[in-house]
Amino acid sequence: MRTQHIGFFFFFLLALALVACGAQPSDAARASFRAGAAAVDISPTSFPVRIAGGFLESQAQQGGEPLLARCFAFDDGQAKIVFAIVDSCGVPQGLIDEAKREASRRTGILVDHMLVSATHTHSAPAAWPALGTRQDAAYAARLPGLIAEGIAQAVANLQPARIGWAAIDDWEHTHNRRWIRHADRMVEDPFGDVNGRANMHPGHLSPDIIGPSGPVDPALSVLAAQTLDGKPLAVLANYSQHYFGAPAVSADYYGDFCKEVADLWGEPGEGNGPFVCAMSQGTSGDLMWMDYGAAAKKISRDRYARAVAQYAHQALRNIVYRDSASLAMVEKRLQLKYRVPDKERLAWARPIAAKIEDELPRSVAEVYANEALLLWLVLEQVAWYAQEGGS
């Protein structure tokens, strides 16, 4: 496993659990709650740059829309916690750890009180190696320092504040992209076998499909901070929608959402400061904006973002802000089961992967062969650690 995606709203609940459960903060906490936010430009500065998000590697020859690390800091007088949302398809754990260590050195905040996540835009430089895309090493080398700078700025911007949170269901704008097919209409899988009973993007109102493969998570969650005189300071939202689609380089709809929220609040700066907005990635592995159970609709990315932002605005308008909140951070590692290749699959993969040059797959088959071998290597490492008594 080369990266982690973290849904933020569960962390909101943990971070604010004491207040949500009715515990009363101390007088000191009530008098000293602070919030700060900052946005740092993480756009590539040299080209061409590798772009992560497709099955095969692509490049951007020039810049496009800005990419940002949007950072938030909260302080209840007893503890400080930090969120950083990075406009990237994914960020590897080692890079995140490096950014946290540098941010901790600069701010004094413990690394286990920081949460860093990628938005999962498919139109940003390859901070990680993903499917057929190699990491863009030059870009990745710059990223930890930029994330740390954003965190440091957010901490430096801490000021007396009030905080609130809410959630609203937005069923209109996220749908399951993976649908079950009729038994006599299966498709060929990546290994050449006609056994695909479920597949992504089947087409609108297709006669080949029965229904979506599972439910969706419609919750659009918002955490907001304002100054003591009621001026919007920061909004951190979370929604389970994979991505919209944008030409590189772009923050995709996550960046557009921030612009629209700022506009709805009447705040300058497009959500990139001094008012800072971010959209973090939710539980959206199989979720997309297209509803294949209905006729196709033409909608632009900015119009889509505006519509989602309007839902967020409804939730924000109903927030009852609090003068304080007791902060806490809990981290739990999840043990996940995953499929691993059997002997037959490895026998299929090895000769195909052996033809890959420069660690660059040039076909979908080479991508799957490479991924199969990577999974096998992980399994071997787990078995070795278990035999040696490690963890």
pLDDT tens readout for residues 245-280? 999 999 999 999 999 999 999 999 999 999 999 999
Residue 186, domain member (yes or no)? yes
Both 51 and 67 in a single domain?
yes
What is the pLDDT at residue 259? 98
Are 53 and 122 part of one and the same domain?
yes
The yes-or-no verdict on residue 49 having pLDDT over 90 is yes
- Asked if residue 233 and residue 208 are part of one domain, the reply reads no
Let me know whether 207 and 222 are in one domain.
Answer: no
Please say if the pLDDT value at position 165 is more than 70: yes
Of 299, 317, 335, at which residue does a domain stop? 317
pLDDT at 389: 59
In-domain check, residue 336: no
Quick one: pLDDT band at residue 383, thresholds 50, 70, 90? low
pTM for this one? 0.90
- Tell me: do 81 and 204 sit in the same domain: no
Domain annotation covers residue 332: no
Tell me, yes or no, whether 328 lies in a domain: no
Same domain, 68 and 89: yes
272 within domain boundaries: yes
Domain that holds residue 117: 9-164+216-317
Q: Name the domain boundary from 301, 317, 333.
A: 317
Does residue 190 register a pLDDT over 90? no
> What percent of the chain is modeled with pLDDT above 90?
82
Asked if 237 and 100 sit in the same domain, the reply is yes
Stretch 116-142: mean pLDDT: 96
pLDDT tens column, 193-233? 899 999 999 999 999 999 999 999 999 999 999 999 999 99
79 and 54 co-located in one domain: yes
Domain boundary (263, 283, 317) is at 317
Query: Looking at the structure, do residues 109 and 160 belong to the same domain, yes or no?
Result: yes
pLDDT of res. 32: 83
Q: Over the chain, what HEC string results? A: CCCCCCCCHHHHHHHCHHHHCCCCCCHHHHHHCEEEEEEEECCCCCCCEEEECCCECEEECCCCCCCEEEEEEEECCCCEEEEEEECCCCCCHHHHHHHHHHHHHHHCCCHHHEEEEECCCCCEECCCCECEECCCHHHHHHHHHHHHHHHHHHHHCCEEEEEEEEEEECCCCCEECEEEECHHHCEECCCCCEEECEEECCCCCCCCEEEECCCCCCEEEEEEEEECCCCEEEEEEEECCCCCCCCCCCCHHHHHHHHHHHHHHCCCCCCECCCEEEEEECCCCCEECCCCCCCCCCCCHHHHHHHHHHHHHHHHHCCCCECCCCCCCCCCCCCCCCCCCCHHHHHHHHHHHCCCECCECCCHHHHHHHHHHHHHHHHHHHHHHHHHCCC
The pLDDT of residue 80 is 97
Average pLDDT, the chain: 90
229 with 358, same domain: the answer is no
Same domain, 239 and 286: yes
- What are the tens digits of pLDDT across the range 297-337? 999 999 999 999 999 999 999 999 999 999 998 888 888 88
Do the domain assignments include residue 333?
no
4 inside domain: no
* Number of domain units in the chain: 3
Q: What is the pLDDT of residue 388?
A: 67
Mean pLDDT, rounded, for 130-152: 97
The answer to whether residues 199 and 75 belong to one domain is no
**In a domain? residue 169:** no
